[in-house]
Structure 1
Amino acid sequence: MGSISDVSFCNTMVLTALILGEYSIAVPVDFNQSTSKTPKVVIVGAGIAGVGAARKLLKQGFTDVQIIEASSQPGGRIKGSLFGKSLVDEGAQYIHGASMKNPIFRLAKEYDLLQQTSNMSGAEWSVYTNTQRQFGPEFIEKLENLTTFLWRQADLHARNNTQAKSFGQVYLEEIEEILTNWTDDSSQLRRQKLGALNMMLKAHCVYFSSQNLDDVSLQEFNEYEQIEGGDRNSPGLFLKLISNLVEVIPGKSLLLEKPVKQIQWNGSFESEDSSVYPVRVLCEDGDQILADHVIVTVSLGYLKREAEALFHPNLPEEKLHAIENMGFGTTNKIYLEYEVPFWEKSERWIGLAWEDETPFSGLKPNLAEWWRRINLVDVLHPVERYGHILLIWISGKEAEFVETLSEDELTSNITRILRQFTGKPVPQPKNVFVTKWFSNTYTRGSYSHISINSTGDMIDKLAEPLPQARGDGHLSKMLQVLFAGEATHRSYHSTTHGALLSGWREADRLINHYSISEEGHQQTRGVA
């Protein structure tokens, strides 16, 4: 039996789910009353947005739901590979906002996936410079406080400034102001401080998946909403989560290795049984799938390359404009496995600060010295699960470039840099693994941000379904093409919870659409 606290927890969970949309306030739709045939929904992409949309539609009585996925496994940018002693995450790794307000956290709790969750705040740092100077705890604490201050100042500027400014512009303005207080510093200490700040600037670029902070609009701070609870990581959490979500989807409803060539909409396509559909999905293998509705969940990076060829007729100009101007970059991970560790057991992060770099240097692409882009090295824990593994994060054009390097080029340069900074006899790793999100045909990068050329309104424009609602109240031609995925969620873009919520949003759009009859009669609805 559950205790009172268990019951309270369940009630809280259901209430929060209702608020955020996990459960529709709708009974399964009776399509015999509202339409002449069961609507057919095709979902392009089996990432968490597509899987989330499919699950919700199936729960609400949609019986003809088909997911088609280009790769050989579901998950999209939730992906893992065997490395060392365990699976490592290629893509999604952290729950950003570990609280019941986050649907990913709620589902992870429901599926009991949080047993080994670790909180990354307060992790022990070691920061080295290229002259083998190691900063002490006091310096690192001041660096963290200064970085937090700069972040808050950017947020303050965003709230008080309507001009189109970049995060990088404000960041540098604030540092110039701070420099006026460093008059007593030696030239060497000043170099070290500026090098450390530039290290943190590179870390921000990983956070935004951008080349530099000049690419990131200050509007990012006004649009993106943080969820309380901090970042949490649990080994294999996202892979287990996607596996649990897919379990309830009938096998026949998920087609893998089925790339889409073109989505034809606003047509009248006749099936073998003489039914007429407004949408036809042409697959690379020659198959044609007819549908009443298609939910497109592909990445913004893929849309940037393929949007004009993918849709016929073409997308509206304003939607194409949003796709072109919204920010989408590459962040890759480099995993290194060692026979024995050269780092301290207590270390969780190793920072690398170049004394000959400052935030004013500008993070322009430097492929000849790509290793300079490396700023933070993550020591994976627990050792019992992973073994002795380091994780390097890298963004920008350098992240794209490392995908082309041989294993020897990669490991020899990283080993040289680690020896140069730490002064330790760092051994060559015995294994290396590099993620390749840019060269992945179906992602072409990692995740989105609001660029200096875009706005939050463009995210809403990308999310708008096609065709637009007609003034005559006719419903049959509406909602032919719907859009989901992390880049379509204004408040939570770049996150898995944003992707999941966008899938639920589009499922709800169809559920609500069919809850209204052709005469506009609202059906009686109750908790499912």
Structure 2
Amino acid sequence: MRSTSVIRFYSAMVLTALILGEFSIAVPMGFNQSTSKTPKIVIVGAGIAGVGAAGKLLKQGFNDIQIIEALSQPGGRIRGSLFGKSVVDEGAQYIHGASMKNPIYRLAKEHGLLQQAYNRSGAKWSVFTNTQKQLDPDFYEEMENLATFLWRAAHLQSQEKGYTQAKSLGHVYLEEIKELIRNWTDDSPNLRSQKLGSLNMIMKDQCVSFSSQDLNDVSLQEINEYGFIEGGDLNYPRLFLKLISNLVEVIPRENLLLEKPVKQIQWNGSFESEDGSLYPVRVVCEDGDYILADHVIVTVSLGYLKEEAEAFFHPNLTEEKLHAIEHMGFGTTNKIYLEYEVPFWENAEHWIGLLWEDETPFSGLEPNLAEWWRRFYSLEVLHPAERYGHILLGWSSGREAEFMETLSEEELASNITRILRQFTGKPVPWPKNVFVTKWFSNPYTRGSYSFISINSTGDMIDTLAEPLPQEGGDGHLSKMLQVLFAGEATHRSYHSTTHGALVSGWREVDRLINHYSTSEEQHLQTKEVI
């Protein structure tokens, strides 16, 4: 993954309540320095969950913290690369729910990051078929309305009570489409193929939203569990890069270790430090260094856990956690950026749709690496050209997205140029530069974001978020919360989002605050009895 110079790594600024917003809770600092040592907290991963948690810990008076990050810069799945005239987003790009109910939106507004919106009034879009037909905008709008109808039907089924057999989103869609087709009796074969091709094109878009191969992989429970926030999707240039920069500014340089991959988290132990203090957790790094801690907040991606969970923790995770990690959905969504010397599209055009008339929702979206380019359903024009240059952005998910990472720029440019010429009928030039994100081959992400798969449930997300050791045993609070879990895949309502990741980090900080508040209360009660 390419690095970028736009992120300002560190600064000795004082943390303000601005960062915490309404999620801050007014409780005691959480520990009594006169009766116990300051708890030592290690955060594994400097994504938005990790740096968000660190900022809140510092605000609440937990000063003995250490963030450990495997990569050379903070941000996790928030990354940017210089491309064309500007920096483009490799990962997180949209605020999903642009309103004050969204903590990302609130922080962006408070930090003055919502000042560069591009006016999309008069935006134009075109949809071409592989037989060089250009669809009427009204026709495609009708197809989008049909897709909305399918979504509502799926939502209604997701709220049904009593059904025992697991259903997929794709299953519901296909059943509803079969009903629709019965009313298409007067349609010509060409019109019917365009309708089905349009619905299949929209399903590819939804697979990108879920980071899935096929909607048959996505549980119907996904719709009912996911918490939509009003305000729609908002895209501001480099907003997340700037936000990460602001969140990192308040973390002292010595509290953030970069290029320090963790090899193993050893918990439920009794590890002695040089001064004789005992700690229940030892974080062992790949280079042989280790850090002792009272608590570790693990913010690594679900994709990484799927690959490394059994070796990453000692003792191993509970069977329930391993089962959840194995069965929860986690897929790959990649972007491709193409830069042109001169545009072949109109100035007002914002995206170019690609509809295959020989594809239908019933043909499915099984992996087709030999024709990986079929996975593209549209190319977005980045505006304004004065800021970006002449750039198109395409999205792909599933195995095809993973396969794209292995291809050379020449292979990518050649095939996409051929497809664009086939669809538009224009002498489309070769792009002068091509850039593909590589989230699957990144060993610390192994994909993009999570979803509730047909083999999982929302309960499994809660299981993953449960701290270790679990309550029970001897009941001593001093042994609790050794390993805590944060990250987008641990938030039941906001999984797959940056605001879910951020709130999950804050959630674990609240858990620690409540833990030490309880510990202090018990200490005071013991003194009163004595």
Query: AA paired with 2:511?
Result: R
Q: Which residue of 2 aligns with 1:26?
A: 27
Query: What residue ranges of structure 1 are gaps of 5+ in the alignment?
Result: 1-12, 524-528
Cα displacement (A) at 1:60: 0.3
Preserved CA contact (<8 Å) 1:373 1:398:
yes
The residue matched to 1:135 in structure 2 has which SS?
A: coil
1:449 & 1:118 partners in 2: Cα distance? 30
Moved more, 148-157 or 326-335: 148-157
Hey, what's the Cα distance between the residues in 2 that align with 1:217 and 1:470?
33
CA deviation digits over 1:250-269, x for unaligned, max 9? Answer: 00000000000000000000
Deviation, structure 1 residue 470: 2.8
**Which residue is equivalent to 1:39?**
39
193-202 or 40-49: bigger deviation: 193-202
**Partner residue in 1 for 2:269:** 267
Distance (Å, rounded) in 2 between the aligned partners of 1:280 and 1:136: 62
Q: Secondary structure at the match of 1:75?
A: coil
Per-residue deviation at 1:484? 0.1
Post-superposition CA distance 1:268-299 (Å, at most 9, x none): 00000000000000000110100000000000
Q: For 1:199, which of 194, 198, 201 is the aligned residue?
A: 201
Distance in 2, matches of 1:223 and 1:450, equals 9
SS at match of 1:31: coil
Amino acid at match of 1:29: G
Return the offset for 1:30.
4.4
**Identical positions, percent:** 78
TM-superposed CA distance for 1:71, in Å, is 0.1
Measured in 2, the distance between the counterparts of 1:290 and 1:357 equals 56
Kept in 1: contact 2:30–2:514 (CA 8 A): no
Mapping 1:87-486, distance limit 5 Å: 87-118=87-118, 124-160=124-160, 162=163, 163-470=165-472, 472-486=474-488
Q: CA deviation at 1:43?
A: 0.2
For 1:150 and 1:320, the matched residues in 2 are separated by: 34
Structure 1, residues 397-428: CA drift from partner, whole Å, max 9, x if none?
00000000011110000000001001111100
Cα distance change, pair 454–118 in 1 and its aligned pair in 2 (3 A): farther
**SS at the partner of 1:160?**
coil
Higher alpha-carbon deviation: 513-522 or 153-162 = 513-522
- Deviation at 1:346? 1.6
Aligned CA distance change for structure 1 residues 273 and 405 (closer, same or farther; 3 Å): same
Q: Is the 8 A contact 1:117 1:232 kept in 2?
A: no
Amino acid at match of 2:87: L
Given residue 422 of structure 1, which amino acid in structure 2 is its aligned partner? T
Which residue identity is paired with 1:347?
E
Instruction: State how far apart, in whole Å, the 1-side matches of 2:347 and 2:443 are.
Output: 39
Aligned-partner Cα distance in 1 for 2:446–2:473: 38
- CA drift of 1:125 comes to 2.3
Cα distance in 2, alignment partners of residues 202 and 109 from structure 1: 32
Q: Which amino acid aligns with 2:378?
A: L
* SS of residue in 1 equivalent to 2:427: coil
The question of whether the paired residues in 1 share the 8 Å contact of 2:150 and 2:173 is answered with yes
Give the distance between the partners of 1:121 and 1:442, measured in 2 at CA. Answer: 40
1:70 — aligned with what? 70
Distance 1:314 1:304 in 2: 13
Residue pair 1:125, 1:140 contacting (<8 A) in 2 also: no
How far residue 522 of structure 1 moved from its aligned partner, in angstroms, is: 8.3
Maintained 8 Å contact 1:331/1:445: yes
May I ask how many residue pairs the two structures share in their alignment?
A: 506
- Aligned partner of 1:37: which letter? K
Report the Cα offset of residue 27 of structure 1: 3.9
- How far did 1:512 drift? 1.2
How far apart in 2 are the matches of 1:122 and 1:164? 44
Q: CA RMSD in A?
A: 1.7
SS of the counterpart of 2:338? strand
Q: Is the 8 A contact 2:488 2:500 kept in 1?
A: yes
Give the direction of change, closer, same or farther, for the CA distance of 1:491–1:255 in structure 2 (3 Å limit): same
Q: Per-residue deviation at 1:53?
A: 0.5
Q: Measure how far apart 1:326 and its partner are.
A: 0.2
- Structure 1 residues 103 and 240 mapped into 2: Cα distance closer, same or farther (>3 Å)? same
In the aligned structure 1, how far is the partner of 2:122 from the partner of 2:493?
26
The question of whether the paired residues in 1 share the 8 Å contact of 2:28 and 2:517 is answered with no
Kindly indicate whether the alpha-carbon contact (under 8 Å) linking 2:122 and 2:348 is maintained by their aligned counterparts in 1.
no
Look up the SS of the partner of 2:128 in the other structure.
Answer: strand
Are the structure 2 counterparts of residues 169 and 243 from structure 1 closer, same or farther at C-alpha, using a change threshold of 3 Å?
Answer: same
Which residue of 1 is the match for residue 10 of structure 2? none
Shift of 1:28: 2.9
- Once the two structures are TM-superposed, the CA of residue 122 in structure 1 deviates from its matched residue by 9.2
Q: Unaligned regions of 5+ residues in structure 2, if any? A: 1-16, 526-530
- Secondary structure (helix, strand or coil) at the match of 2:352 reads strand
The question of whether the paired residues in 2 share the 8 Å contact of 1:198 and 1:357 is answered with yes
Task: Tell me the SS of whatever aligns to 2:477.
Answer: coil
Distance in 2 (CA, whole Å) between partners of 1:120 and 1:487 is: 33
The alpha carbon displacement at 1:383 in A equals 1.3
CA drift of 1:384 comes to 1.4
CA contact 2:77–2:91 (8 Å) conserved in 1: yes
The TM-score with structure 1 as length reference comes to 0.93
